[in-house]
Amino acid sequence: MSQKVYLGIDTSCYTTSAALLAEDGSLLAEARQILSVKPGRCGLQQSEMVFQHTRNLPRLVEEVFADKDCTLAAIGVSGYPRPLADSYMPAFLAGMSVARSLAAAYKVPLEVISHQENHLEAGLWSAGGPQAERFLLLHASGGTTDLLLCERREDSRYNLTQVGGSLDLHAGQFVDRIGVALGLQFPTGPALEQLAEQAEKPLELPVSVRKLDVSLSGPATAAMRKLEAGANAASLALGVEHTLAETFARLLRNGAAAYGVRDVILVGGVGSNKYIRKHVEEKLAKRRVRLWVPEGRFSCDNASGCAAVAWRLHKKND
């Protein structure tokens, strides 16, 4: 018997992805393709992102629907970076065009959310919480290091209000700047994490946190100077992880105290790092603040959050 399914599409700066949820909210299939970046480069132009997404997405949609007896019930797609009126990035047009076309052809609801909300929804779906009406979200990636207050609305969506974050470099930029200097392939997060596992102890780097504002340019400059001075690569990689972990822990501790919340959720590519998660969780536990983290593969860029919001908002109407 054909089952109803919920499709999610996300075309972020460096990953094309599609996901399919079943009627009970479980994952039926997901597929993703990291965009190709030439060795030694630290990014892509938006036009190149759009081209690669346009090329990748049809194949990924075909992959998630392959060999499935199903009926499309709703679609979720990320249409812009942040939930703000002026938030725009061409990369998301590729996903929007496919999602709108499918929704029109199959006459199903289309939920357009921001990429940041996609990360939130993926985190809630994968981690199973928090269930609180108010909690904090730290979105740490290559393009974002935002601390947001999340408040549940009557329509089951969330209001996201930025209350803190980085004043300069984003966490992923810090990781990639040092990773590329170490000769790692961009985006360097997974490779830097593997390199750090070889170190006995982290190289000491500064931590700059003032209330709900953090600075990562200073730690990045210090790391580059140590590398130029001949620092051990693995120890430096672990030092980058430790500095980010301590930065996040202090920021979340301060945020929880400022807004009187006991639940925080960590998402984004940098948030998938095991060392960082463990350190932050241990630090927050001492303040009786619970850290929620999605499964690692659903913390980095993926479309499960878009599929999850389509499922969550439309399953009751089926």
Are 83 and 143 contained in the same domain? no
Q: What is the pLDDT of residues 11-45, one digit of tens each?
A: 999 999 999 999 999 999 999 999 998 887 878 89
Q: What is the rounded distance in angstroms from the CA atom of residue 204 to the CA atom of residue 209?
A: 16
Same domain assignment for residues 88 and 149? no
More confident residue, 2 or 298: 298
Mean pLDDT of the region 221-240: 98
Kindly state whether residues 114 and 51 are assigned to the same domain.
yes
Please state, in angstroms and rounded to a whole number, the distance separating the CA atoms of residues 205 and 155: 45
* pLDDT exceeds 90 at position 93: yes
Q: Judge if 152 and 187 occupy the same domain.
A: yes
Same domain, 178 and 265: yes
Same domain assignment for residues 226 and 198: yes
The count of structural domains within the chain is 2
Do 101 and 207 fall within a single domain?
Answer: no
What integer is the mean pLDDT of 239-250?
98
The average pLDDT across 152-164 equals 95
Residue ranges making up the domain that contains 170: 131-298
Helix-then-strand count for the chain, H and E: 9, 12
Instruction: Tell me: do 103 and 244 sit in the same domain.
Output: no
d(CA 301, CA 92): 13
CATH number of the structural domain spanning residue 309: 3.30.420.40
Structural element, H or E, at residue 237:
helix 233-259
- Neighbour order of strands in the sheet with 110-114: 27-34, 15-21, 3-11, 70-80, 110-114
pLDDT of the residue at 316: 66
Under DSSP, is residue 130 helix (H, G, I), strand (E, B) or coil?
Answer: coil
Whether the pLDDT of residue 167 is over 90: the answer is: yes
DSSP string computed for 63-125: HHHTT--EEEEEEEEEEESSSSTT---THHHHHHHHHHHHHHHHT--EEEEEHHHHHHHHHHH
252 and 223 share one domain: yes
Q: How far apart are CA 129 and CA 27, in angstroms?
A: 17
Q: Are residues 96 and 73 both part of a single domain?
A: yes
CA distance 192 to 219: 16
- For 296, the token pair is 């690692």
Q: How confident is the model at residue 317 (pLDDT cuts 50, 70, 90)?
A: low
Q: Per-residue pLDDT tens for 266-316?
A: 999 999 999 999 999 999 999 999 999 999 999 999 999 999 999 999 986
- Residues 147 and 268 sit within 8 Å (Cβ to Cβ): no
Residues 194 and 51 in one domain: no
Say whether both 96 and 164 belong to one domain.
Answer: no
Average pLDDT rounded to a whole number, residues 36-56: 91
Query: Of all residues in the chain, what percent carry a pLDDT higher than 90?
Result: 93
Q: Is 203 exposed, middle or buried (0-12, 13-18, 19+ CB in 10 A)?
A: buried
Tens digits of residue pLDDT in 174-217: 999 999 999 999 889 999 999 999 999 999 999 999 999 999 99
User: Between 1 and 172, where is the model more confident?
Assistant: 172
Nearest to 56 by CA among 105, 18, 110: 18
Tokens of 69: 């007896």
What is the Cα Rg of the chain in Å? 19
pLDDT given at position 143:
87
Task: Please write the tens of the pLDDT for every residue from 206-228.
Answer: 999 999 999 999 999 999 999 99
Under 8 Å between Cβ of 196 and 206 = no
Average pLDDT over all residues of the chain: 96
The rounded distance, in Å, linking the Cα atoms of 110 and 73 is 10
